[in-house]
Copies of this chain bind each other. A is one copy, B any other.
Amino acid sequence: MKLINNQNIMIVGLGLMGGSYAKALKRLDFHIAAIDKNPDSIEYALNHGIIDEGYTQPDETALKKSDIIIFGLYPGIFKKWIAENQHMFKSGAIITDVTGVKSCIVYDIQSVLREDVKFIAAHPMAGREVYGVQNSTEKMFRDANFIVVPTDKNTGEEIEWCKELGRLLGFINVTVLSPEEHDRMIGFVSQLTHCIAVALMTCSDNTHLADYTADSFRDLTRIANINEVMWSELFLLNKEPLLADIDRFMNELQTIRNLLENDDREGLKAKMRLSTERRAAFNKR
């Protein structure tokens, strides 16, 4: 199982991420087809040479010749789409995805999927605060992490295939996590930070302070500009790990608040020293 440049790739869901995959892979001379229910997205992608073929609904002829199918759909739709359309897949096809939550998706799909088709999950940890194929760009992969998320059903060969895909797309860092490890990680580094940014914007109307903000505030709330349909779905699908993260964070903030209330300067300094020390691990390498 190798990625060969003349293979046919089908992208289902041609949004920001699907479009960015299409751009990166087309440059490598793969043949790219796409299905998206929005005719504007398909028309834009065809007119701009992002894809070679486009459809606004599942097309049997196109799917039958697809060696690789990449799903850029929201989690809920994704499962339904597979159930309804997998009879059209080519025997021996390999499927991957871009979904931001894994435990609730990967096992379900693998359990209903045809025996002669393989699904190896992945999470390209890249994004922008804008949406749609019109804003897609493979540049967003350059500094980003690509996580392959296999289950026990996946072979070593499938895992290697998916790692190679991440490297071909241009990700700087390609790693492997189990669905459960992935979801705990994403709860902390991505979903909790989005909850915090939203709470900071909604806790009071502070828009009159816009003239006074420092970069710290701007950086922290960049992600407060948020796609509510996608993120509410991601939060709810990763509810248990995310609730645990929010609670752990709030307990700690309460502790810091109490140090402040009690004028405990040394206690505050100890927290700041620990923070500085740990943050050093996150500097870009």
Once the chains bind, are A216 and B223 in contact (CB under 8 Å)? yes
Once the chains bind, are A201 and B275 in contact (CB under 8 Å)? yes
Once the chains bind, are A203 and B251 in contact (CB under 8 Å)? yes
Per-residue B-contact encoding for A152-173, CB less than 8 Å = 1, 0 else? 0000000000000000000001
Per-residue B-contact encoding for A234-257, CB less than 8 Å = 1, 0 else? 011001001100111111111011
Interface residues of A in 75-129 (CB under 8 A from B): 125-127
Q: Which of A2-10, A24-32, A57-65, A262-270 contacts B (4 or more CB under 8 A)?
A: A262-270
Q: Given A197-B220, A209-B185 in contact, is the A261-B239 Cβ separation under 8 Å? A: yes
| Chain B residue at minimum C-beta to C-beta distance from A204 | B248
Q: Which of A15-23, A43-51, A66-74, A140-148 contacts B (4 or more CB under 8 A)?
A: A140-148
Binding site for B on A (CB under 8 A): 125-127, 143-145, 147, 173, 175, 177, 185-186, 188-190, 192-207, 209-229, 231-233, 235-236, 239, 242-243, 246-254, 256-257, 260-261, 263, 265, 268-276, 278-282, 284
